[in-house]
Structure 1
Amino acid sequence: MLFHVAMEVRLPPDMPADQANDLKTREKAMAQEIQRAGKWPQLWRVAGRYANISIFDVADADELHTLLSALPLFPYMDVRVTALARHPSAI
């Protein structure tokens, strides 16, 4: 099942730099692991913002929630999810 996921990260401005850098390092490693597993086939940066647009290919909404909520930056994210269905005009 495909999902369009928009994520925007909002780290607290007073978060120590070393803590923020640790979260970002762990986030990158986990995101790449999920991509290599084929569950996160598209990841696009939103220019000018600490945000991304992604396509996830997972079994269902429960699996998507499990993956997203395990991301180290999840507590600092605004996440919007849209389930996708094949368009009848798509080739």
Structure 2
Amino acid sequence: MSDRKKWDELRQEALSHPDAQEAYEATRIRYELGRTVREHREALGMSQAQLARAAGLQQPAVARFEAGGTMPTLPLLERFASALRLRLHVGFEPLDRAS
């Protein structure tokens, strides 16, 4: 048997470092926000360009956001929500319930 570690072990070891956990969490949040906007945009049958126009943005900014490439401000999230005919809701959950 080899001394090589499995991917799950390496991942867990890397995430045990506090800085890595913080970076992972920031990335997860960006990804989830982008995915949510994309899902709502697609459900409305909108293109990225249409969403961009409705939100007062350029299409590449929408693409970057949907890919998780930017951490948005609350005003930007409000612009997306309005363009998607949604109401922005921001809240807190106990860590044991968070995904």
TM-score surpassing 0.5?
no
More helix by share: 2
TM-score for the superposition, normalised by structure 1: 0.31
More strand by share: 1
Q: Which has the higher contact order (CA 8 A, sep 6+)?
A: 1
